[in-house]
Amino acid sequence: MTPDRPDPDPTPDTPSDSDSDLRWICVFCGSSAGEDPRYLDAATKLGRSLAARGMGLVYGGSQLGLMGRLADSVLNAGGKVVGVLPEPLLPREVAHRSLTKLVITESMYERKAEMARLADGFIAAPGGLGTIEEFLEVLTWAQLGMHRKPCGILNTNGFYDPLSAVFDHGMREGFIQHVHRKMILIESEPDPLLDRMSAYQPPKVPRWIEVGET
Ligand code: AMP
């Protein structure tokens, strides 16, 4: 962990020797709650699982939708939450007022770079275009060898089955390499997903470019 990163003090009941490499998880998820209450329930469950493992949450900083529910859940379970919000979005996304830390960036680009810098792994939970865009970007960064952090999809209620089918289709049609498809960890429940992320061994991917070159 770099010194300027926030330190998520493990909660007292957290085993300190588990999941030690994944201290901060960045979760991309909807600023809306979705139609089915199972999406909100899953955000609650994911938050509890993160806190129980002593993992801090890095997320978009909003109190809206699944984002707000996830942050509340981590905080209520005694965990740490860092929100990263771009200034231009402050009026629209409504900053969460009880976070461990709120980072305000000048732009959306800086927000994404800061979230990626702070996190040891990434999860896409159900969400809209913002969620999908943010996750695909960190995934393509992994493909380019710019980071070696695990990228997981929380497939609540089969929400990401169509996207997963696109990945498989892309592989069959020769556009996505098998080694890159295998980087995408997909589970329908938080604990199996976090287990797989903790055990993740990144493939040897050549480093084509550096983060500053994107
Ligand atoms: P959504 O999934 O569309 O509800 O958005 C979830 C989060 O993604 C929100 O915090 C949005 O600010 C963010 N977001 C929306 N559009 C983008 C974008 N083009 N790039 C990065 N983040 C975005």
**Cα(18) to centroid(ligand 1), Å:** 31
> How far away, in angstroms, is 14 Cα from ligand 1 center?
32
139 CB-side CA count, 13 A: 22
How is the chain split into domains, by residue range?
Answer: 24-198
For the CA of 132, the closest atom of ligand 1 is 2
Q: Report how far residue 66's alpha carbon sits from residue 89's, in angstroms, rounded to the nearest whole number.
A: 17
Asked if residue 11 has pLDDT above 60, the reply is no
Q: How far is the CA of 124 from the centre of ligand 1 (A)?
A: 12
Give the tens place of pLDDT for each residue, 155-213. Answer: 999 999 999 999 999 999 999 999 999 999 999 999 999 999 999 999 877 666 665 66
CA of 107 to the centre of ligand 1 (A): 12
**In sequence order, what are the beta bridge partners of 126?**
none
Q: Which tokens in the block code for residue 39?
A: 């999406």
Please give the CATH architecture assigned to the domain spanning 24-198.
Answer: 3-Layer(aba) Sandwich (3.40)
DSSP state of 9: P
**pLDDT (average), residues 67-75:** 98
How many residues make up the chain in this entry? 214
- Looking up tokens 């909100």 gives 40
**pTM, entire model:** 0.89
Could you tell me the two tokens for 28? Answer: 């991309």
Considering only CA atoms, which residue is closest to atom 10 of ligand 1?
60
CA of 134 to the centre of ligand 1 (A): 7
Q: Which residues line ligand 1 (CB under 6 A)?
A: 30-32, 60, 62, 89, 93, 108, 112, 127-131, 133-134
HSE value, Cβ hemisphere, 13 Å, CA-based, for 198: 16
Q: Atom of ligand 1 at shortest distance to CA of 86?
A: 12
Q: What confidence tens digit (pLDDT) does each residue in 14-38 have?
A: 333 334 589 999 999 999 999 999 9
